[in-house]
Amino acid sequence: METVIGNPLIKALIILFLLSATTAAGDAPFIISHKKASLTRLKSGAERVSVSIDIYNQGFATAYDVSLVDDSWPKDLFDIISGNTSNSWERLDAGGILSHSFEIDAKRQGMFHGAPAVITYRVPTKVSLQEAYSTPILPLDILAERPTENKLDWVKAAF
């Protein structure tokens, strides 16, 4: 007499159940976000920060009502020059990417450590909004004293 687990039909049903449970859990958006910032010296005493944030949906379902908020730039330290520190989109399809950028001017010299941006989105199968975070930026040394670069020295060093 064969055991119930040894029955090929039961084994097939168990495998089918496990595969469907794994697939059901994978049928959701999976949001990954990368935040970058670069400094550009405009003139003595002024420096511009260019910020770009890419949002990727690496999941298998669409994310709806996608919202980005990057409030890590204090108004007493930075002035917004172009764009906004927040944005929203109707949807982000599976495998899709959204990009957002803005520019700000620094008001003071010093080391700045920016926090990750916050992304919220809706999944049709869940009641509450889902939340994801971007990567943090590397510390920015705003208006730091930098030695002048002589591009002729680069050419000399190459030979």
Averaged pLDDT, 7-35: 66
| Residue 140 neighbours by CB under 8 Å, 6+ apart | 37, 39, 49, 111, 112, 113, 114
Q: What angle do CA 41, 54, 112 make, to 5 degrees?
A: 40
Strands 140-142 and 110-112: antiparallel
Domains for the chain: give ranges and CATH numbers.
29-144 (2.60.40.1530)
Averaged pLDDT, 4-18: 57
Residue 136 has pLDDT above 60, yes or no: yes
Percent of the chain at pLDDT above 70?
Answer: 74
Averaged pLDDT, 128-149: 86
φ/ψ of 82, rounded to 5, equals -145, 145
CB 18 within 8 Å of CB 70: no
Per-residue confidence band for 39, with pLDDT thresholds at 50, 70 and 90: very high
Percent of the chain at pLDDT above 90?
Answer: 62
Q: Which of 146, 132, 139, 147 is closest to 37 using CA atoms?
A: 139
Q: Each residue of 67-120: pLDDT tens digit?
A: 999 999 999 999 999 999 999 999 999 999 999 999 999 988 899 999 999 999
